[in-house]
Every structure is written in structure tokens, then in C-alpha cells.
Amino acid sequence: MALELDAEHHGGPPGPAEPVDLAAIRADPLTFLAELVAEYGPIARHVVDGRPVITVNDPAMVHQVLTANRANYVKSGTPDEQMLVPLLGRGLLTSDGEEWERQRQLAQPAFQHRHLVTFDTLMTTAASRVTDRWRAGAGTPFLIDRDLTALTLTVVAQALLGSDLSIGPRFGEAVDAANRVMGHDVGAGPDRRAFLDARTFLDHIVGLLIGSARFDDSGRDDLLAHLLRARSDERPEGFSPAELRDQVLTMLMAGHETTAKGLSWTFYLLDQHPAERTRLEAEVDVVLSGRLPTAADVSSLPVCRNVVLEALRLYPPVWLISRHAVAEDTIAGYRVPAGALVCISPWLLHRRPEAWGEDAEAFVPGRFVGRPELTGPGSSFLPFSAGPRQCIGQQFALLESTLVLATLVAGVRLHLVPGHPVVPEALVTLRPRDGLLMTAEPRGRADLVTS
């Protein structure tokens, strides 16, 4: 009761009177957040380990935190920082303030649309290899989330580094080891040693590739070459060696993990909604006529695009965004004390009936047709965050997801193995807890050809 009186006296948001055990939250964070907002409303407060945590679930409140008063809400001092910095250092995902602004200015030119579309062949070639593998093993169960992770790692590594050295088995194993450990307090046990070994290996490979690119960047057009050439008036020398290392690892890790999870959930949803799958297959067959897609085809694949968006809405890989309040603020009339942790959950925002209607829990890709306001600034659609810190790789991810999905759908139809459990698990990203065990049914032409 003391906490309730304290919150009322100081104008704080409503919330549970007693502190909440962190272990209980971690056991099922999605249910905890949903129940919290359902009971206390779009702005709610709870206390963990003596720290107030304020959850906001309204687009106007989100806009205040991520855009209008963003200087007051920083990444430093958040669980995101604690989880990611040990591996990624201070790259675009974890830096703050002037340091982040300088890095973003240097990196932004590498992510211009006219440059990103040149990677379309890389994306579809990698996807066609996976299609061939699934077709060859028709009827054999595959953990498709693992295959899609390997696919997206191949794409981002080659697009970023321009080298096949980055995608050998050891590299993938190191990435998996790092992902398993991030977000958990593993002390000094074997998991911690595996993480340190993985980080050492990744540092070594990234260092070699950066050194090679510095030695000879003639004719290179990968993202690393653009980062090496990046200059600004404030930073004529470009990225320092340490900054470059952090940027490369950040882009490798963030650039493959979220796309792989988004595609995994997409195929799960298509299997659960055969009418939507049939509609998508029809579009792909008509537009592609047996050839591999290109970036120029994306505008002719609206169903494919909307399927990707709807999967990102229902199963956003980045399910939680957190910020540290530097100074006291007021949100929707409620006091936010300095030092509070402010949380935004795309998982919750994407299910608000006020924004998405009474069918907010349903898979309806057609909801995006003719309604750009659903995904625009100030909306309840946040798969890539919002405001100035919106993901720099958003266009790359959407292009890759659309082209990979079209390529795979043209060659196979995936079916979930009967009885295989599918439970969302909110860790570093939102993933299927037990993987996605599916079988492939060949469809379409046996051999896709480039146009």
C-alpha cells in the first residue's frame, strides 16, 4: 500500500503496490506486460529491485519518449545496454548522444536505397540455395528457423564484408554462442567461457576483414567499403579502428538475427492461414513466372510485402525497447522520476484494438492495403523502433525479407510438423522457443532462373 500512496502523492502512474520479482517477469515477460497494461492502462508503473519501471502503450506517449523528448530518454543504464555492450561495444545500437549522432552521420550514406538494391541478387541467390536444399529433402523435417538464420547471416556478412570468409561454420557457431548467452547472467561457468571464446573469434575475423579492406578497397562496393570511406566535417578522419569494429559486429548481429526471426514467424503464420498462403503463392507465380525476383519486382509484390509487415506486427523480433530517464518528466499527466526505466513493447502496441481493430490478434495482411497511416510516424507500428534512432537497416531488412520470401514461396510450401509446439520466447529477440520444425512440399518450377 505504501507504494500506491507514494505514486498517488507524486502523481505517478498506477501499478501494483508491491515490488515485482525480476525472475517472475523473466519467466514469461509477454504475459506479464499484457496483464500489467490490461489492469492498469496504457501507462503503468511497477518496481523491480528498487527501480521504478514505467511501461507506455500509447503512440502519443511513445512519440514523446522516442522523438519529442528523446534527449531525456537514453540507452545508457538500460538492460539493452547491459546485454549488448559486452559483445557489440559502442556501435550504433548502443551508443548515445553526440557519439551516436556522429556515428549515424558517418554510416547513413552506406544505407541509401540506391545502394541497397544492388544486393538483390545476393539475397535471392542465397534463398534459392535454401530452396534447393528443402526441395531435395521434401518430407524431411527441418528446423527452418536455423536455416533462415544461416541464410540471413550469409546475406548480411557478404553484403557488409564482401567476403565468403565470414560465413564458414565456425563463424555461425560463434554467432550462435554469443546469441545464447546475451541477456543472461552466466557468471563464470562454461557458458561464459563459450561467450568469451566466441567474442575473441569474431573480433579476430572482423579485424582480418577490416584490415584486408583497408589494404585494398579498389572496386569494392560492400557496406564495409562505404564505412571505410565515410567522412564528415566533424570527423574528417572517419571511424576509428575501435568504432569500425563495433559497427561491423553490430551490423552483423542485428542485421541477420531480426530478419531471420521475422521470416520464421512469417512461414509459421502462412502455414496456419492457408487462404493467405494461397493468395501469396498466386501473386508470386504470376509476377515471377519461374524466375528469381529482383529489387525492381518489389513494387509488383504487394501481397508479399503486406505478409511481411503483418508477421512483423504480430511477432516483432524486437519485442521490447527500453530507455533511462535522465531527468524528471511528465507523460500523459503522470510523473516520470529521474532514473526510471521506461519501456515500450511493440508486442503490446501491435495488438492495440484502438489502432488495429477488434481483429488485432488475427493475421490479416490485407489490413495494410490503402492505409499508409498504419505504418507511418506516430503509428502503433514499431518493428524497427521510431524517431531519429529508427533502425538504420530497416530498408535493407524489408528488401531482404520480401525477396527471400518470394524466392522461397516460389519453390516450396512449408508445413508445421503436427504436434510440434510453437511458443513465443522473449529473449534478445522474439523467437519460437522450440524452433520451427517444418516439412517442405515442392511447388512451382523445379529450377528458378535469373531474369
R_g of the chain computed on alpha carbons: 22
3-class SS of residue 248 = helix
Q: Which residues touch 39 (CB under 8 Å, ≥6 apart)?
A: none
H or E stretch covering 439:
strand 437-442
Can you tell me the mean pLDDT for 410-437? 95
Residues 267-289 pLDDT 10s: 999 999 999 999 999 999 999 99
Q: Which one has a higher pLDDT value, 248 or 178?
A: 248
Q: Is the pLDDT of residue 395 over 90?
A: yes
The answer to which of 137-146, 170-179, 322-331, 421-430 has the lowest mean pLDDT is 170-179
Q: What pLDDT shows up at residue 445? A: 57
Tell me the three cell numbers of residue 254: 542485428
Can you tell me the mean pLDDT for 221-245? 78
Question: Where does the pLDDT of residue 259 fall: very low under 50, low under 70, confident under 90, or very high at 90 and above?
Answer: very high
Residues 338-389 pLDDT 10s: 999 999 999 999 999 999 999 999 999 999 999 999 998 889 999 999 999 9
Cα separation of 316 and 426, whole Å?
Answer: 10
Question: Where does the pLDDT of residue 450 fall: very low under 50, low under 70, confident under 90, or very high at 90 and above?
Answer: very low
Cα separation of 46 and 41, whole Å?
Answer: 13
Question: Where does the pLDDT of residue 158 fall: very low under 50, low under 70, confident under 90, or very high at 90 and above?
Answer: confident
Q: What pLDDT shows up at residue 394? A: 94
Residues 297-319 pLDDT 10s: 999 999 999 999 999 999 999 99
Q: Which one has a higher pLDDT value, 346 or 451?
A: 346
Per residue in 374-383, is it b (16+ CB within 10 Å) or e — as a string? beeeebbbbb
Strand partners, 437: 143
DSSP string of 284-343, one letter each residue: HHHHHTTBPP-GGGGGG-HHHHHHHHHHHHHS-SS--EEEEESS-EEETTEEE-TT-EEE
Cα separation of 88 and 94, whole Å?
Answer: 8
